[in-house]
Amino acid sequence: MRIDVLSAVPFVMESYLKHSILAKAQEKGVVTIKVHDLRDFATDKHRQIDDYPYGGGGGMVLKPEPIGNAIESLSKERTYDEIIYLTPDGEVFNQAIANALSLKKNLLFLAGHYKGVDERVRQLYITKELSIGDYVLTGGELAALVVIDAIVRLIPGAVGDSSAILEDSFQDGLLAPPVYTRPVVYKGLEVPEVLRSGNAKAIQEWRLKMALEKTRKRRPDLFKRYLQR
């Protein structure tokens, strides 16, 4: 998979991309992630990428030309399956969207900033708009990292043990059951007997029971959907 990101502050994404599972996935050649500085595509000598909003009001708006230039320039190199704008008014991201995007070949992300991007960029270029939840961040970069991380870890070979992926919270519509490792007793608390029994069927049943219980208590919305599926 190839992922390109357009950002007004590309350097804020670097550390995470260089030191996380995303770095390992890149080293393994499972994915190539390139972050581009919007300023490099500015058209004027001051390399201006934002401007005041028409009609007044606070905040700045990302100008259309640098973004349009960047998208058109990158699109000459490859055809993007989706051009995704990260914005609090987008569709709320979830595991099903991550699963679908993990099957794509080329993705281009645009991280919003300030008050947002000129509406015409959205009309002309954007094929998908994603939010990572109902709260406001200072920029789309963290949201882009969240979405990219969730996608890349699903690509075969990106994560060490691929069987672990199917056991993730949400992958079956339920929250994950508790997990334990050694020692058997820690500060008086014991690892459930069943997990030490070697009885695979009993372990599977216990995990499902715990997952159902936790989901019912914490996320009645997910629990309802699980029962209806």
Contact segment (CB under 6 A) with ligand 6GU among 58-66, 84-92, 96-104, 212-220 equals: 84-92
* Shortest distance in whole angstroms from residue 72 CB to ligand 6GU: 23
* Shortest distance in whole angstroms from residue 107 CB to ligand 6GU: 15
Q: Which residues pair with 84 in a beta bridge?
A: 109, 128
Alpha carbons 17 and 26: distance in angstroms, whole number: 9
* Shortest distance in whole angstroms from residue 103 CB to ligand 6GU: 21
Alpha carbons 50 and 9: distance in angstroms, whole number: 13
Among 3, 42, 49, 86, binds ligand 6GU (CB under 6 A): 86
CA proximity to 67, closest of 11, 120, 105: 120
The reply on whether position 8 binds ligand 6GU by CB under 6 A is no
* Shortest distance in whole angstroms from residue 131 CB to ligand 6GU: 4
Q: CB neighbours (10 Å) of residue 85?
A: 26
Binders of ligand 6GU among residues 87 to 146 (CB under 6 A) are 87-88, 112, 131-133, 135-137, 139-140, 143
The reply on whether position 64 binds ligand 6GU by CB under 6 A is no
By the 10 Å C-beta count (0-12 exposed, 13-18 middle, 19+ buried), 148 is classed as buried
- The site string for ligand 6GU over 154-183 (x = CB under 6 A, - otherwise) reads ------------------------------
- The site string for ligand 6GU over 136-155 (x = CB under 6 A, - otherwise) reads xx-xx--x------------
Write the single-letter amino acid at 190.
Answer: E
* For ligand 6GU, the closer CB: 59 or 192: 59
* Chain residues in the site for ligand 6GU (CB under 6 A): 86-88, 112, 131-133, 135-137, 139-140, 143
